A and B are shown apart, each in its own frame.
Chain A
């Protein structure tokens, strides 16, 4: 057993020294200006035309999906929705920098990452309409997606729980010997949860190849960031945990891509976690149950609209000669039509049979669940009008 001296590297001083917040200056990586031109001295990440357009198209698709689904919720067709307007670059461009084998453990505003992985419009719809084609079997509120084939872990509502889970998932990946990582998304609000501390500290100590991707979008429902923490954002915490950290302009898709690419390479090469803080703004309401006019001004929102990641990337693509406006308009229109058509088709699909209510609690239903199901079915048969979704199919 070797002797330890945990004070070995500590310098001493002979007068009281107060270490102040902000001693470490954490800069923000920016590659594109707000207008979408490459900033002097910035290095464009190596993205092909095809890759660039895939990022752009996915961002635009998500904007369309979000607009339509907020509308659908207003019409009472779905119970709940949560848009990512203004934050598309954060989720889409980061997902673009990953390998499809990397696990994504998201919070709930990362539909862009899921769409980038290849989740189809009807898959989004099946989940949101809680129908029998939803792989979650209609058990979770809208937007709690998950897809095993796409390595996208099913979302749960509790905030921040995915953070230590991502550390564990990444540890398992490392032990399996594969060069893959886990990316874990969360907001600056969730970073106040105890699970944030637990997860980052464990990842650092246990050398887990995980990318902690914080979307610092300025608000947790109505609570502004300055009422959430007093330190220098979330990035400053990474240093405290001994985690390599990058702060990036979250509305700059090229910067997000470059930062995530670098983080992934580091995580694999050094088997370590990396924290990315993406500075962005939640232009959308928190969810369809929220009304931001009660806590922020139009002016403030407009300042951020001017930094819209989609416009910014369109301008960059245009500069490259990769942007065809007519083609793009057609694609957007087609996306709108697809969303509407899928919505119409999927909202009519039945919910699962009542027998599914006791499935997946355990690998097989134990006696007490079978007993409760039998009694429930007898009751439904007795009151079919009360339970129109399932009564007709009770066997």
Chain B
């Protein structure tokens, strides 16, 4: 075990993967000698050479197009998009190419070895274009897996699983926690399962569901609710696509209430999908409507960032409303 922050855990996972398999290549804007704007790829070029860790020109569609070709050739690309907000020039390559490669060729070819890493989320005074959480755009796209870690331990285990998974994975890193979240992380190689949620805290009165940096918010809200004698179960979805409906369903059947929290805007957010699926499966178990505590349907603001955020106070109030419905 070693104390690592989330960036160090990512870096450690990349070193582990690159050491184990020489086909693993890491690239993106500034990831080479500089080690990435957040330093997630520090020293990789020194360790593994310029051929396997390199800068690309500033072109997100190029990075993912290149990564698609490289993956289809049999290499194992880990492509970095510097900010989730800048992934959209690559939207066509991801949605029409990455996600459909295997299907359209009847498994003759695939890009299953591809992992796209990108930081997402707000809380860092990043305004409109350094704060977005674009997971729902990609959750609408069959063929992709979407994975979000909540802490350094999950970052390493889930990233290693993503790199080795036989399907393309969009790995979204909560940048607010990059340096803020520090935990004991095993130095050896390990993987955590994709497509499986994790029960962070057991409880009886309401299920609080989230992922990534919002798990911390849910924990704070649960602590506030505990003062009122409310017992919250916290579930970290960990994978957005495919998502673990079974674990969520079991939890909701136990607690009878569900609150979903995400930073992305409310309308068309992934909470909508979860709410629809859970009401279908758990209709007769629900004691109250499913609550969504999300970002506003506005672009991500700067001066009003604190007001925009689905924080613990908004979550606490929603818990009370749901319990007293």
Contacts and interface: CB of A to CB of B under 8 A. Distances in A.
A139 B106 CA distance: 8
B41 interface: no
Contacts of B57: 198, 201-202, 205
B75 interface: yes
Interface stretch (A287-295, A336-344, A359-367): A359-367
Which of A154, A166, A176, A367: most chain B Cβ within 10 A? A154
Interface stretch (B93-101, B126-134, B176-184): B93-101
Interface string A166-209: 11111111011000001000000000001101110110011000
A156 interface: yes
Interface string B99-125: 011111111111010000000000000
A309 interface: no
Nearest to A140: B104
B69 A165 contact: yes
A10 B275 CA distance: 61
Contacts of B75: 171-172, 175
A123 interface: no
A363 B145 CA distance: 11
B89 interface: yes
Interface in B21-70: 25, 51-52, 54, 56-57, 59, 61-62, 64-70
B102 A361 contact: yes
Interface in B217-265: 242, 245-246
B307 interface: no
A195 B65 contact: yes
B166 interface: yes
A137 interface: yes
A117 to B, nearest CB: 14
Interface stretch (A24-32, A141-149, A249-257): A141-149
Given A169-B72, A202-B56, A161 B104 contact: no
Interface string A98-115: 000001010000000000
A164 B62 contact: yes
A158 interface: yes
Nearest to B109: A154
- Which interface residue of A140, A195, A199 has the most chain B CB atoms within 10 A? A195
Contact of A146 (B96, B105, B112, B167): B105
A121 interface: no
A354 interface: no
A343 B67 CA distance: 38
A267 interface: no
Contact of B100 (A134, A156, A166, A182): A156
A153 interface: yes
A164 B89 CA distance: 13
A144 B72 CA distance: 17
Nearest to B52: A175
Contacts of B109: 146, 148, 153-154
A205 B62 CA distance: 12
Given A165-B72, A362-B167, A368-B242, A199 B65 contact: yes
Interface of B: 25, 51-52, 54, 56-57, 59, 61-62, 64-75, 77, 89, 92-93, 96-97, 100-110, 112, 142-143, 145, 166-167, 195, 242, 245-246
Interface of A: 103, 105, 134-137, 139-140, 144, 146-148, 153-154, 156, 158, 161, 163-173, 175-176, 182, 194-195, 197-199, 201-202, 205-206, 359-363, 366-369
Q: Which 8 A-B pairs have the closest CB atoms?
A: A164-B65, A168-B69, A198-B62, A165-B69, A172-B73, A154-B105, A168-B66, A168-B70
